[in-house]
Structure 1
Amino acid sequence: MADLLSRLLAERDWILADGATGTNLFNMGLASGEPPELWNTDHPDKVRALYRGWVEVGCDLFLTNSFGSNAARLKLHGAQARARELSRVAAELAREEADRAGRPIVVAGSMGPTGEIMAPMGSLTHEAAVEIFHEQAEGLKEGGADVLWVETISAVEEFRAAAEAARLTGMPWCGTMTFDTAGRTMMGVTPAQLATLVEKLPNPPIAYGANCGVGASDLLRTVLGFVAQGSERPIIAKGNAGIPKYEHGHIHYDGTPELMADYAVLARDCGARIIGGCCGTTPDHLARMREALETTPPGPRPSLEEIAARLGAFSSPGDGSGTDTAQRPERARRRRRG
């Protein structure tokens, strides 16, 4: 029997994913520098409330609070021995809320980057990276995740290691990279290179795409880059709610629910099948996004000019392919989901 996500993709034109984990947990009291993953055991009711918020506004898929629950990242907090446990509990709490909803909801086990630089540029070997991701994936599987969700990756080598971990775990998976440096990832990967990579993996993902980055406009330009490669694999779009700005001691994202509703419709018309938000995206944003997707008829594929006019200018003239656009204001960058 096909996994739940594949079944939903076969039945529906689009699937609404969730928004930010970190932003919303900070609003619940998470302290700066405090690892959100420890809240799975320290404050499970707040993590459940986060998940419940996505369910209540109509998300079809939401990610577990396990972005950084791998041994490499948890080592920074002396909690590396808890990687599997914290991943498992994140999925268990999510499974409870999804099953309580009374409709099919995909629990996606979030797996963020290790935070290490892969060999040969760095010291993290392929074998070590696979082991780190595999431990986390096994915990998410034990907790009841439907699919593994590898996200915010910058390097091809790390993407390959996460894919192998998914294979070892026997889980379906999805994968996204973050394109935040003139249309490329921090390690120089282009949208075209990711589109090519996923088709060559021995266990390709159910869907692939982009998350985070520098704003909704840039992310949709990246989606158009995927579409241009001709792949029929479902594409994921999880853009930030606008641009981060530092105000009154806090990071604030300037994207309104109305802007994110427009982004969601444009993402669908660009060719994305799984549409959600990333940093700064709250349940209020998601509610408007779902309403817009349900009430706005599909339109033609938007041009870069239309995207910029409706969502704001691009952060760089290049989209990673060598093609220039006319848009170039400076924008801040952020590589951690939430």
Structure 2
Amino acid sequence: MTNPFTELLAEKGALLADGATGTNLFNMGLMSGDAPELWNTDEPKKIIALYKGAVDAGSDLFLTNSFGANASRLKLHDAAKRAHELSRVAAEIGREVADTAGRKVIVAGSVGPTGEIMEPVGSLSHALAVEMFHETAEGLKAGGADIGWLETISAPEEYRAAAEGFALAGLDWVGTMSFDTAGRTMMGLTSEGMVEMVHDLDNAPLAFGANCGTGASDLLRTILGMAAKEEGRLPLVAKGNAGIPKYVDGHIHYDGTPELMADYAVMARNCGASVIGGCCGTMPSHLEKMREALDTRPKGSAPELDEIVAALGPFSSAGDGTGDDQAPERRSRRGRRRG
């Protein structure tokens, strides 16, 4: 079976995804602690501007403003019953932007973590997690999303529940995890472990990979680990942050320049990723340089680790979480927001 995403990837060989959601919306006036998803109905013109910023910069696909559109997260804003509605509207706005772009652009329905810890470590049951992911996926599908896009997941149990939710909705999907703890996800999964998990799913994604985490260097090291284990069976996704977060005048600022992100995009492709975008801190100005670099620089061989460090900066940990590295202690924390 084909899908607009797989068709466009086959046509172009590599796709440029979008950048940050949160960073761009904060620049439009979103306040810390507010639910961005409520802007789908309250500030639709700003969501159109968010999507168009990526499309106009050259992105082949963009993610909808629905990262936290699940009952668990929305209950914090007295909007738990609006998960389907807000997901649907996020995709409807995206469909309108994509259909008037003048070229093929993929609408990817963003699905973030529930914000709860799943059993047996936490209290969220598998059945309830599947139900929440199913509801969000149904909304995205009703709004016209081409695919679902799971992102910033830490627990394999939650990844599996989302896969079931997408299956129930009949929505093809892509899924990334965040490797932010010494080369592993917060819940201890390695890049190799993710490859094994993905191929063990009854409803496998169309592509998978890593997003967010720490810096771009760490993310590329993770992609290299996946590529070595994956051996080209499914496309890989790299969506790294625009540098390292720093506090400047009371706000989080990412120090990655557009030029650095252009180098990152080319290196991500060389590492084995065929869907490349940015996460936190990535603005349209970054995407423009990434587009130019992917279009004008030839694909090369996979970089050595010291080449990644020289181009993008040091790793945050000595190891990538595999081999003899010790798994980090599991921590209880509500999943953070993308971008």
- Shorter-chain TM-score range: over 0.9
CA distance in 1 between counterparts of 2:246 and 2:161 reads 34
Amino acid at match of 2:296: T
Partner secondary structure for residue 210 of structure 2: strand
Partner in structure 2 of residue 289 of structure 1 = 290
Q: Please tell me whether residue 258 in structure 1 is matched to residue 268 in structure 2.
A: no
Residues 219 and 237, structure 1, Cα contact 8 Å, conserved in 2? yes
Q: Please tell me whether residue 46 in structure 1 is matched to residue 65 in structure 2.
A: no
Task: Report Cα offsets for 1:174-205 as digits up to 9, x if no partner.
Answer: 00000000000000000000011111111110
Partner in structure 2 of residue 242 of structure 1 = 243
Partner secondary structure for residue 199 of structure 2: helix
Cα offset for 1:8? 1.2
Partner in structure 1 of residue 182 of structure 2 = 182
Task: Report Cα offsets for 1:246-276 as digits up to 9, x if no partner.
Answer: 1101100000000000000000000000000
Residues 17 and 276, structure 1, Cα contact 8 Å, conserved in 2? yes
CA distance in 2 between counterparts of 1:119 and 1:173 reads 24
Moved more, 224-233 or 68-77: 224-233
Partner in structure 1 of residue 167 of structure 2 = 167
Partner in structure 2 of residue 319 of structure 1 = 320
Task: Report Cα offsets for 1:141-170 as digits up to 9, x if no partner.
Answer: 000000000000000100000000010011
| Equivalent runs, 1:1-338 vs 2, <5 Å | 2-232=2-232, 233-322=234-323, 335-338=336-339
Q: Which runs of 5+ in 2 are unaligned?
A: 326-334
Q: What TM-score, normalized to structure 1?
A: 0.96
Residues 240 and 280, structure 2, Cα contact 8 Å, conserved in 1? yes
Task: Report Cα offsets for 1:191-247 as digits up to 9, x if no partner.
Answer: 000011111111110000000000100000000010110342100000000000011
CA distance in 2 between counterparts of 1:286 and 1:335 reads 23
CA distance in 2 between counterparts of 1:335 and 1:270 reads 27
Residues 68 and 337, structure 2, Cα contact 8 Å, conserved in 1? no
Cα offset for 1:107? 0.2
Residues 28 and 46, structure 1, Cα contact 8 Å, conserved in 2? yes
Moved more, 315-324 or 202-211: 315-324
CA distance in 2 between counterparts of 1:323 and 1:56 reads 45
Residues 212 and 335, structure 1, Cα contact 8 Å, conserved in 2? no
Residues 212 and 336, structure 1, Cα contact 8 Å, conserved in 2? no
Partner secondary structure for residue 176 of structure 2: strand
CA distance in 2 between counterparts of 1:143 and 1:13 reads 27
CA distance in 2 between counterparts of 1:56 and 1:310 reads 27
CA distance in 1 between counterparts of 2:249 and 2:102 reads 41
Q: Which runs of 5+ in 1 are unaligned?
A: 325-333
Partner secondary structure for residue 273 of structure 1: strand
Amino acid at match of 1:6: T
Residues 37 and 68, structure 1, Cα contact 8 Å, conserved in 2? yes
Partner secondary structure for residue 205 of structure 1: coil
Partner in structure 2 of residue 329 of structure 1 = none
Amino acid at match of 2:13: D
Residues 40 and 89, structure 2, Cα contact 8 Å, conserved in 1? yes
Cα offset for 1:322? 2.7
Amino acid at match of 2:287: L
Cα offset for 1:323? 6.2
CA distance in 2 between counterparts of 1:204 and 1:295 reads 33
Amino acid at match of 1:284: S
Residues 213 and 335, structure 1, Cα contact 8 Å, conserved in 2? no
Cα offset for 1:296? 0.7
CA distance in 2 between counterparts of 1:103 and 1:323 reads 48
Residues 178 and 335, structure 1, Cα contact 8 Å, conserved in 2? no
Residues 64 and 108, structure 2, Cα contact 8 Å, conserved in 1? yes
Amino acid at match of 2:72: A
Moved over 6 A (4+): none
Cα offset for 1:299? 1.1
Amino acid at match of 1:80: A
Alignment size in residue pairs: 329
Amino acid at match of 1:313: P
Task: Report Cα offsets for 1:77-99 as digits up to 9, x if no partner.
Answer: 11101110000000000000000
Residues 61 and 105, structure 2, Cα contact 8 Å, conserved in 1? yes
Cα offset for 1:335? 4.0
Residues 19 and 284, structure 2, Cα contact 8 Å, conserved in 1? yes
